[in-house]
Structure 1
Amino acid sequence: MSRPLEHPLDNPARASLTGPHQDRFAERRGRVLRYPEDVSPFVAMPDAPGAADWADLAMLAGPGATVWLPATTVTAPDDWEVNWRLEGIQMVLADDTADADDAADDTVGPIPDSEAVRLGAADVPEMLALVERTQPGPIRPRTVELGTYLGIRRGGRLVAMAGERMRPPGWTEISLVCTDVAHRGQGLGAQLILAVAAGIRDRGDRPFLHAVADNAKAIRLYESLGFRLRRRTTFSMVRVPLERATAGEWENPGPERTSAQWSPRAARPDLSPSG
């Protein structure tokens, strides 16, 4: 049996899919949950998964599928291929009261941005194109449904965006922060992070995000905006075995399936947004 969660951010995907994202997005088999494939490649395992949980994930995802294990220390069984594994950190926006002593004097609080526009279903083709150009990490046709996504346009073209991804109770993750190469160095990423954070705060949640542990530049940016280290964690992509040793577990393995087309290089910027 897995231990109870000590904090919603200890296993944020699971806290999201058993909390605010449960009714609309959660797909479940046993104790394993996942987002629909056209929303996110993230799956949520129990804190201490057993063999039955991995078997449930295999049945839920399908033979040969690749899935993401986000912000967790869970390790896949030996017969599961680990496509990549990244060491990361989890950061939270310093609270105006509780964390005031920890915040630097020069941090900037969440602020709305008059230049940022709300992105919706009609903007998905442009969002997908921007992600293709900048490679900030996984996006799907329905990712925009996870929360508020804001963008900045130049000459009518979407050149920067940021939005909300996981949503544990009381918290919202800022993610998919990206800027076109030609428009970097103007602080657009910082603008959008603060604007998204302002919306999160307005509804009573607290912002958090993730970064690759060795990306000092991104971490310095987040610290300048008021984010503080909470814990170290890992992100990994694993592949479900095409066939399982247990007789009858796969009646018909079928063709190889994939729920995410990302390499470690492509995935890395998702934890270290450009802008």
Structure 2
Amino acid sequence: MQRNPTLDHIFWHTLNGAHRQWSSGTDTARRYTQGFSPIIAFADPAQPDFAALQPWCAAGEHFYCENWTGAAPPGWRIDAETTMFRMLWDGPLPAADPAPDAVPLRPEHAQQALDLATLCKPGPFGIRTIELGDYFGYFDGERLMAMAGERLRAPGLTEISGVCTHPDDQGRGLARRLIGKLIRRHMLRDERSFLHVMRTNPAHQLYLKMGFKDYLESTVRVVVAE
């Protein structure tokens, strides 16, 4: 698959680009502002400028960080390490919206979205994450059963993120319908959908069957400011 330098470094291009208004830091290191997804990124992952980031971080904060290896610098510790796949949509335009009845998630749904993400652990998620793009969900009364939405973005690229289904509602295809809805919206805007999935997550096989292709596998760490 042909490489895209922007997609290779999408966390930095988002935090220093489309989402700069929701991030804090410098020209070498940035983080999402507190309340959004706890993610940090560096202009040069081979030489991460943690010192530049330190003033923007509180002691005890946990962050996800991609494409950085090596020892933790002073004032930081590594809490966890794994790998994840970045996957690109490689299928056709869905013929119709597979989730026309999905509900757009608004700020008043933020706590329900955070509660579902806390339960299902789709990845770094904050109380304001649904403000980063269009999120949709399925409800049973006031209970959010499933959701999916948009997070990282750069020209021509939009991430599908926050994909999760409550354990009581799995097996109904809700998340798959929401993903299809987002793919269709992206393709109609001439954007390429991509997503992230941890190596150990069985959803990786589902995404392959849907039409996503592995683009790269990268190291991801959870680091803590001390």
Inter-CA distance 63–181: structure 2 relative to 1 (3 Å threshold) = closer
- Structure 1 residues 78, 193: CA separation in 2 closer, same or farther (over 3 Å shift)? same
Tell me which residue corresponds to 1:159.
145
User: Residues 1-275 of structure 1 correspond to what in structure 2 (within 5 A)?
Assistant: 7-22=5-20, 24-50=21-47, 53-70=49-66, 72-79=67-74, 80-94=76-90, 96=92, 109=94, 111-112=96-97, 113-215=99-201, 217-240=202-225, 242=226
Structure 2: any 5+ residue segments left out of the alignment? none
Could you say what secondary structure the match of 2:122 adopts? coil
Q: Tell me the SS of whatever aligns to 2:101.
A: coil
**What's the CA shift for 1:111?**
4.6
Q: Distance in 2 between matches of 1:110 and 1:28?
A: 42
CA contact (8 A) 2:147 2:175 kept: yes
Q: Any idea what the Cα deviations from partners look like across 1:62-101, whole Å, max 9, x if unmatched?
A: 444322204x2444535431100111111100165xxxxx
Q: Is the contact between residue 111 and residue 197 of structure 1 (CA under 8 Å) also seen in structure 2?
A: no
Higher strand share: 2
Q: Please tell me the residue identity of whatever aligns with 2:184.
A: A
Instruction: Give the whole-Å Cα distance in 1 for the aligned partners of 2:167 and 2:212.
Output: 25
Q: TM-score, normalised by structure 1?
A: 0.73
Q: How many residues align?
A: 222
Check the 8 A contact 2:72/2:78 in 1, yes or no.
no
SS at match of 1:47: coil
Q: CA deviation at 1:203?
A: 2.3
Q: Deviations over 1:8-33 (max 9, x none)?
A: 111111011222222x2131224111
| Structure showing greater Rg | 1
RMSD value, Cα: 2.3
Give the secondary structure class of the aligned counterpart of 2:153: coil
Mapped contact 1:87–1:233 kept (Cα < 8 A): yes
Shift of 1:133: 3.2
Alpha-carbon deviations, 1:122-146, whole Å to 9, x = none? 1112212222333333322211110
Distance 1:145 1:76, change over 3 A: farther
Please list the CA deviations of residues 176-216 of structure 1 after superposition, one character each: whole Å capped at 9, or x if unmatched: 1111111101111111111122222222211101112233x
Cα contact 1:19–1:169 (8 A) shared by 2: no
- C-alpha distance in 1, partners of 2:127/2:183? 23
- State, as a whole percentage, how many aligned pairs show the same letter: 32
Task: Look up the SS of the partner of 2:53 in the other structure.
Answer: helix
Gaps of 5+ in 1: 97-107, 243-275
Secondary structure at the counterpart of residue 199 of structure 1: helix
SS in 2 for 1:165: strand
AA matched with 2:13: A
SS state at 2:17 partner:
coil
Q: Alpha carbons of 1:55 and 1:73: their partners in 2 closer, same or farther (altered >3 Å)? A: closer
Q: 1:170 to 1:75 in 2, by over 3 A?
A: farther
Distance 1:230 1:151, change over 3 A: same
